[in-house]
Amino acid sequence: MMARHGVRLTMAVLTACVALAGIPADGAPVKARTVVILPFDASALDRDDQWIGEGAAQVLALALAQHPAFVQIDRTRVRTAAGRPELWGEPVVLQTARALKADAALYGRITRQNTDLVVQPRVVDLKSAMGDQPIVLEPITAGEGEILARLASLPTVYARTLKVAVSETEARRIERAAAPTKSLKAFELFSRAQVAAARGGQEGNETAVDLLSRAIEADANFVVAQYTLGAVHQALGNRWKAAAQFRASTQLDPMYPEPYKALGDLFLAAPRRLFDQAVEAYQKAIDLRPFYADAHVGLGDARAAKGDIDAAISAYQKALTYNTVNPRVHMSLGKIYYSEKGLYYESVQAYKRAIDLDNDSVEARMGLGEVYEDKGLYKEAVEEYRKVIELDGKHTGAMYNLAMVYEKTDPREAIAQWERYITLAAQLPSEKDWVDVARQHLRKLKNQVKE
């Protein structure tokens, strides 16, 4: 009986020429930098004002996404590397940047001087001659009611410090993105919502929904808040509410690419085969921001699901051109190398690269375990499946595959593993057929042990 293998893409092997630079619309090469953007340390402020530290990070992330030179590390990976430190002081910043293999870390401190706020931006450029020595930038002082306008100047300051050339078009986009709302109250609620969502879990996400809803009440034209509310609904499993928010944000600002990419993700994961709609949504996001690597990855997945192999390969190549540290692309390559060409070494290296970039990638570890299992490397397969179960104690696929491997190496352990799987999976209607198979395996093994 075969193990339960994950869904594999059907496409030719991709020989990716991975560039170190993005290519903007004007065709000029850009040296890409992998950056981690961290909340500014606002612990010196009154508790009611400490949200400004997260607000500074959000302004930077929104604005620098407009330039191909800044490849931002996803905040979920930051949480994996650093957890949730109370303070983002320099030791934690350096440790996080090294763990994430970032080229630079953007962070800072916010204090109060009399009635003014003082923003003290810092950067660690690990690829420069200074190494891990922080670069202290010119402080920014914000008087009463000036904090939004003053924070909006941060992205340009960082670009200049890191010697990133900014065209007039890019400058306009950065300036616009750095001022997502004119309402200080709306921006405060939005920043607090980001803090809540970063905590994860049902409670954190529900708190974020409440805060974002209030932010939208304060500024109905706050497009980023509309989109972010959709993303939180999606995390909560509210697909229809998520789709409604994404569409609302596209109506408010048809030039904002993130909700189109998010709609593509929803279409791709829909129970019905909405692959054409997914392709259209991803393509719209790419048209608006040609170097949007995650949208290229999504487009590749959608093209592959449609069986449009050449177009899928082209999309993955684009994704790697703009972001060489995207774990999703390397994971897809692992599937391609092994399922289509039987390239064991290349497949293993691709999966390991994905795991190196995202140590908690359950899908990459499942894929690697399946490759090991197919090649008869059962000890290595067991290690990967066990790691998946450590990360997700209810991952029935890993539990099933682990039991299958143990049948070949340790029948008594296989019996115990089948029993664990059946106890969990019997409660899930989607697992009914697999549970029936598992029970057959269990009966057979118990009879063999008796003999």
217 part of a folded domain: no
Whether 405 contacts 385, CB under 8 Å: yes
Q: Which of 153, 179, 205 is the last residue of a domain?
A: 179
Q: What CATH number is associated with residue 428?
A: 1.25.40.10
- CATH number, domain containing residue 54: 3.40.50.10070
Answer whether residue 124 is part of any domain: yes
Spell out the per-residue pLDDT of the chain, length 451, in tens.
Answer: 345 544 333 333 333 333 333 444 444 456 788 999 999 999 999 999 999 999 999 999 999 999 999 999 988 888 777 667 777 888 888 888 888 889 999 999 999 999 999 999 999 998 877 777 889 999 999 998 899 999 999 999 999 999 999 999 999 999 999 999 999 999 999 999 999 998 888 999 999 999 999 999 999 999 999 999 999 999 999 999 999 999 999 999 999 999 999 999 999 998 888 999 999 999 999 999 999 999 999 999 898 888 887 788 788 889 989 998 888 888 888 887 787 768 899 899 999 999 988 888 999 999 999 999 999 999 999 999 999 999 999 999 999 999 999 999 999 999 999 999 999 999 988 899 999 999 999 999 988 877 6
List CB contacts of 270: < 8 A, sequence separation 6 or more: 239
The predicted structure's pLDDT at residue 4:
55
Residue numbers of the domain that contains 172: 25-179
pLDDT, residue 30, reads 67
Of 135, 156, 179, which closes a domain?
179
Q: pTM higher than 0.85 for the full model?
A: no
Residue 147 is assigned to a structural domain of this protein: yes
What pLDDT was estimated at residue 29?
55
| 338: Cβ contacts below 8 Å, ≥ 6 apart | 344, 347, 371, 374
Q: In this structure, is residue 202 part of a structural domain?
A: no
pLDDT of residue 88: 80
61 assigned to some structural domain: yes
Looking at the 3D structure of the chain, how many domains does it have?
Answer: 2
Each as own residue / partner, the long-range contacts of residues 145-149 (CB below 8 Å, 24 or more positions apart, any chain) are: 145/184, 147/52, 147/55, 147/117, 147/184, 148/179, 148/181, 148/182, 148/184, 148/187, 149/179
**296 assigned to some structural domain:** no
Query: Could you tell me if residue 205 is inside a domain?
Result: no
CA 54, distance to chain mean position in Å, is: 18
Take residue 172 and report the two structure tokens written for it: 């306009």
Task: Please report the pLDDT score of residue 151 as a whole number.
Answer: 96
